[in-house]
């Protein structure tokens, strides 16, 4: 990954969230001295979608690589499979695309689609999938992109990384401010 794809892990209470924040500050060497307030760090909060994190890399507006989270530094390259997800653009509609751009998001199987897939599997006498998240993860690892296409995955983007010096063309949407 060009930029580490990190995760909050699971925090189910304010105490667990505060403990995570303290660990983050320690890793960043930003732990305040006793009595000082905690430093504010820019954060992003997003809806929880129970799928699989993906990083989509574009060069000059063309999707060139899709990878799973992996260990946060390096993920599994699954570009051929991600190209079959209809909500993932293969080419960005920009007049002046940046040299590189990375979109972070979540691949998932919507509940209705999951029910339909299991109904189809049951009709064929195949074992049912236990849940949409595991079905999505297994689907993304298939060797045959046609299997991936048949399972009708979706994608929800939540973060965009751009080069600092990129300026949009006259017909492009304005550069995001955050």
The residues that are catalytic are 48
The dihedral built from the CA positions of residue 37, 38, 40 and 45, taken in this order, carries a sign that is: negative
> Cα(135)–Cα(101) distance, rounded to whole angstroms?
28
Answer yes or no: are the C-beta atoms of 108 and 133 closer than 8 Å. Answer: yes
Contact 81, 146 (CB under 8 A): no
What is d(CA 176, CA 100) in angstroms, rounded to the nearest whole number?
15
First-residue to last-residue Cα distance in the chain: 21
DSSP state of 136: H
Distance between CA atoms of 95 and 60, rounded to whole angstroms?
A: 10
Of 65, 61, 96, 68, the C-alpha closest to 7 is 68
The values of phi and psi at residue 164, to 5°, are: -60, -30
């Amino acid at each position: 990954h060009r930029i580490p794809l990190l995760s909050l892990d699971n925090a189910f209470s304010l105490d667990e969230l505060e403990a995570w924040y303290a660990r983050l500050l320690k890793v960043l060497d930003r732990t305040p001295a006793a009595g000082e307030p905690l430093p504010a760090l820019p954060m992003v909060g997003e809806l929880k979608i129970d799928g699989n994190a993906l990083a989509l890399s574009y060069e000059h507006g063309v999707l060139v690589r899709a990878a799973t989270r992996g260990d946060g530094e390096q993920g599994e390259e699954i570009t051929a499979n991600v190209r079959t997800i209809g909500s993932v653009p293969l080419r960005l509609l920009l007049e002046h695309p940046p040299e590189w751009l990375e979109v972070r998001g979540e691949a998932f199987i919507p509940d209705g689609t999951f029910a339909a897939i299991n109904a189809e599997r049951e009709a064929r006498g195949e074992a049912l999938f236990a849940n949409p998240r595991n079905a999505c993860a297994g689907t993304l690892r298939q060797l045959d992109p046609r299997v991936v296409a048949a399972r009708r995955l979706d994608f929800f983007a939540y973060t965009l990384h751009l080069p600092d010096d990129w300026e949009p063309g006259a017909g492009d949407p304005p550069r995001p401010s955050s």
